[in-house]
Structures are given as structure tokens and as C-alpha cells.
Amino acid sequence: MKPQTLADIQVLIQNRELVELLDWEEKEGYVLARPKTWLGSETFKALAEFFHAIGGEYVSAGKQSHFRVRLGEKPSRRPLAEIIKDLRERIQELEAYL
């Protein structure tokens, strides 16, 4: 699914808490999502993988760092469902060690 609007991207995240961690803006054909605070490595990694899966990227720019995705752009070669499947497998592997 190609996101066409900022709302499309927020719906794809499916986790209201993650959506609330970011300041959202639609600008010049892009959606920009700036972290409101430090995200922590696991949350950052999850968001980075999500944005990459929908064709976006992370722009490192100091206090202006943000996730960015062009609206209407095709997703990456790796489908989001595949990323979720891999994450579930990793969780199962970790649970097996507990």
C-alpha cells in the first residue's frame, strides 16, 4: 500500500503510542515525523524499519533530525509483513532463552 496522506502513514503504524512520540507534518509532497524526545534504541529501530518499509528514510540533522517519506512512493523491496514476521521470530527465539 502506498501512503497517500499523513493519516495513511499513522494508520499503518497501528500503535497510537508510537504515533504520539512524533511531531507530524506534511510538507512539499513529503510526510515528516520528528521525534518529540529521545526514542531509545529499540523504538528508534522499529520506527526506522517501518519508515524504510514504506519507502521512507531517516534524515540525521541534529535537532532537526526526522523520518521522511514521499507520499505516493512505492514501498521498499522488503514488505512490511516480512519485517513483522522476522521480528516475531526473533521474539520467539529470545523467549526460548528465558
pLDDT (tens digit per residue) in 64-89: 999 999 987 555 567 777 888 888 88
pLDDT (tens digit per residue) in 9-49: 888 887 888 899 999 999 988 999 999 999 998 899 989 99
- Please state, in angstroms and rounded to a whole number, the distance separating the CA atoms of residues 83 and 60: 23
* Domains contained in the chain, CATH given: 6-97 (3.30.1360)
- Please state, in angstroms and rounded to a whole number, the distance separating the CA atoms of residues 70 and 38: 24
- Please state, in angstroms and rounded to a whole number, the distance separating the CA atoms of residues 90 and 70: 30
Question: Other CB atoms closer than 10 Å to residue 26's CB: what's the count?
Answer: 13
Categorize the per-residue pLDDT at 58 as very low, low, confident or very high, splitting at 50, 70 and 90: very high
- Please state, in angstroms and rounded to a whole number, the distance separating the CA atoms of residues 54 and 71: 10
| H helices present in 40-79, as ranges | 41-53
Question: Other CB atoms closer than 10 Å to residue 24's CB: what's the count?
Answer: 15
